[in-house]
Amino acid sequence: MKNSIFASLTFLLVLSVLTLVAQPDLRGAWETEKDGNRITWITSEKFFAATVYNLEEKKFVGTCGGSWKVEGNTFKEVHEFNTLNPELIGKELASEFSMKDGKLLIKVDEKWEEWNRLDDGTPGKLSGAWLITGRVTDGKQNSITPGARKTMKILSGTRFQWIAYNSETKEFFGSGGGTYTTENGKYTENIQFFSRDSSRVGMRLQFDFSIEEGNWRHKGFSSKGDPIDEVWTKREKLGL
């Protein structure tokens, strides 16, 4: 009996190791280039956002994102927003992928696209997918309940993107993103793309930030110079 139990435990341990090897951790940020444009892809535990843009020309081309999961060597995604192909919103897409020499290879139209890893979710302290859940005015917090209409901010360890959209009506209201740091209680954004106003590209914005009861408190001034005091909550915590 002891040998049987030991054999079973050994089998389960080997199986778990093989599973870890077969399914690499894709969380973080990845980047590739196509047709002279950059494509930056941010993945959190369950959600992702990918954006096509031209930094030199300050041109926003398009963005898509939603939820994702890995099954074997297949990457499956369901889009909540897609400015390039809105009819794909709500549909599950599947792509074959593999890892080689630290690079991510994804099969698209029978061709392999190569992605370079930008980070693994560090060193920034805000990695994850967040939804805005409140705004503070005159010291009073006004709650926001996310539904089909969402404003999401997704961050890796060095990259960020915010997106405002409605997954039911397939409306897109805007997006911006770039690089960020979190040092000494300061959250600093360097904008690399902005769908509404290309003149914002190159701006550097600094905010006070703190984590309060698991929520992200975000205070400072917007790219327009307007004061903001916001509360953001991780999607996993909200179950959305």
Rounded to whole angstroms, the Cα distance separating 127 from 239 reads 17
User: What pLDDT shows up at residue 127?
Assistant: 98
Asked if 221 and 212 count as a contact pair (C-beta separation under 8 A), the reply is no
Decide if pLDDT at 149 tops 70. Answer: yes
> How much is the pTM?
0.88
Decide if pLDDT at 227 tops 90. Answer: yes
Query: For residue 151, what are the β-bridge partners?
Result: 164
Query: For residue 31, what are the β-bridge partners?
Result: 40, 116
Can the peptide bond before residue 227 be classed as cis, meaning omega within 30 degrees of 0?
Answer: no
Query: For residue 113, what are the β-bridge partners?
Result: 106
Decide if pLDDT at 13 tops 80. Answer: no
Residues of the chain with pLDDT > 90, as a percent, come to 85
Q: Token pair for residue 240?
A: 């959305």
Query: For residue 55, what are the β-bridge partners?
Result: none
Rounded to whole angstroms, the Cα distance separating 175 from 195 reads 5
pLDDT (mean) for 53-75: 97
Domain residue ranges in the chain: 128-238
Give the confidence band of 138 by pLDDT, cuts at 50, 70, 90.
confident
Phi-psi sector, 170: left (phi>0), alpha (psi -120 to 50), beta:
left
CB-based burial label for 46 (10 Å; 0-12, 13-18, 19+): middle
User: What pLDDT shows up at residue 139?
Assistant: 83
**Can you state the percent helix, strand and coil of the chain, rounding each to 5?**
15, 60, 25
Residue type, 69: K
Residue 76: which of 67, 86, 84 has the closest Cα? 67
Q: 128-238 in CATH: which number? A: 2.40.128.490
pLDDT (mean) for 10-39: 71
Q: What is the separation of C-alpha 172 from the centre of its chain, rounded to a whole number of angstroms?
A: 17
Q: Token pair for residue 26?
A: 């894709």
